[in-house]
Amino acid sequence: DVKVTQSSRYLVKRTGEKVFLECVQDMDHENMFWYRQDPGLGLRLIYFSYDVKMKEKGDIPEGYSVSREKKERFSLILESASTNQTSMYLCASSLISEETQYFGPGTRLLVL
């Protein structure tokens, strides 16, 4: 079974803090994705990566950056957290040749 884990289930940060969200997958997937999920808006893609050190912007990259130094690990960074970044953050992974994405449990981030 694919396992995608995220470093924290719940996180509370203050405005202006730097926030790191980490995602690890154990199935040797090439693709990894970061989404945020907000009521009524569904899942929106922030960034994705199809290989180590490769990254591409999704639909809403502003205010975020990512890092993929190892194949199994994909980090989302909020350089200076703002209250409008309060959300549920979901990581997913998939094989390079397949469409099915497997999700982690999510990190619920509250920025005060």
Partner 1 sequence: GESVGLHLPTLSVQEGDNSIINCAYSNSASDYFIWYKQESGKGPQFIIDIRSNMDKRQGQRVTVLLNKTVKHLSLQIAATQPGDSAVYFCAETPSSGSARQLTFGSGTQLTVLP
Point out which residues bind partner 1 (CB under 8 A).
Answer: 4, 31, 33, 40-43, 45, 48-50, 56, 58, 90, 94, 96, 98-106
Partners of residue 11 on adjacent β-strands: 109
**Cβ at position 59, least distance to partner 1 in Å:** 9
- Comparing CB distances to partner 1, the nearer of 28 and 98 is 98
- Comparing CB distances to partner 1, the nearer of 17 and 103 is 103
> What is each CA distance from 17 to 4, 12, 46, 82, 85, in whole angstroms?
26, 10, 19, 8, 12
- Comparing CB distances to partner 1, the nearer of 17 and 58 is 58
Distance CA 58, CA 48 (A): 7
- Comparing CB distances to partner 1, the nearer of 31 and 75 is 31
**Cβ at position 46, least distance to partner 1 in Å:** 12
Who's near 7: CB < 8 A, 6+ residues apart?
A: 20, 21, 22, 23, 107
**Cβ at position 16, least distance to partner 1 in Å:** 28
Distance CA 104, CA 89 (A): 9
- HSE value, Cβ hemisphere, 13 Å, CA-based, for 5: 7
**Cβ at position 50, least distance to partner 1 in Å:** 5
